[in-house]
Amino acid sequence: MNQRPAALVTGAARRVGRQIALSLAQAGYDVAITYQGSKSEAEEVASSIGRISHQAAAIQADLTRADVADSVYREVFSAFGRLDVLVNNASLFQPGDDAETIHRMMALHFESPLRLCRAFEKQLRAARGHVVNMLDLLAEKPMPKYAAYCASKAALWNLTLTLARELAPEVTVNGIAPGVIEWPNDYSEEQKQQYLRRVPLARAGTPKEAADAVLFFTRDGYVTGQILRLDGGRSLA
């Protein structure tokens, strides 16, 4: 078995997931990432991890498919022979509540994290490992027109608490509920300022701050079943 610890970060070709993967590599982990369509970006992340002198694997995976957890498990186990950290980061932010959108949101934000935890449960228990689920403040403060997204993140919130009880004492399971870490591409300057007026710290977060929070939860400690609101105080309003 590989002597270095190994981590899997879903949806890590870009944005916050990319920073989480690189930060885990810098902390000494071999890192596998999943991507759906961003092949070139995923390969660049894997190359960056390799330059930090650790093994990397970029795995193409449609996380809305029911059978995807098994294929991801096979690739990760083939590459590393173990798993110490699972970060369920993959996410899709879009409005709507038609049947297709509801299915995609629940499959991506709830079903795939559950299936991946089940697939890797034996390895995570053996490693006394850690699961970190990337949630969203909107699970508590729903946004109009984003019903399916908000409800699916709320389901992942509840799943985090459930798995924390089920996987104890060997595995810790925690969640991070960010406010804005990276602005959506279609946000205008007016929308940004409108949001920031409700944030006591008066700024958006950064991908590094999200990655640092993930690293905190991957340290052995007396913390499980907790949700960190990484929102600059937005949840106080």
Question: Which residues on neighbouring strands pair with residue 175, listed in sequence order?
Answer: 133, 227
| Cβ neighbours around 88 below 10 Å, total | 27
Distance CA 225, CA 168 (A): 10
What architecture (CATH level 2) is domain 6-236? 3-Layer(aba) Sandwich (3.40)
Catalytic residue status for 149: yes
Q: Is the pLDDT of residue 187 over 90?
A: no
Find the angle CA(27)-CA(178)-CA(65) to the nearest 5 degrees.
Answer: 80
pLDDT in tens, 33-64: 999 989 999 999 999 999 987 899 999 999 99
Q: Which of 149, 187, 195, 222 is catalytic?
A: 149
Distance CA 212, CA 204 (A): 15
Locate 51 and state its tokens. Answer: 């330059």
What are the boundaries of each domain within the chain?
Answer: 6-236
Distance CA 80, CA 10 (A): 16
Is 184 in contact with 143 (CB distance < 8 Å)? no
pTM: 0.96
Name the residue with tokens 């997931």. 17
pLDDT in tens, 101-148: 999 999 999 999 999 999 999 999 999 999 999 999 999 989 999 999
pLDDT at residue 116, as a whole number:
98
Strand order in the sheet with 172-178: 56-60, 30-35, 6-9, 85-88, 130-134, 172-178, 227-230
Name the residue with tokens 């930060």. 23
Locate 143 and state its tokens. Answer: 């946004």
Is 234 in contact with 137 (CB distance < 8 Å)? yes
pLDDT in tens, 66-96: 999 999 999 999 999 999 999 999 999 999 9
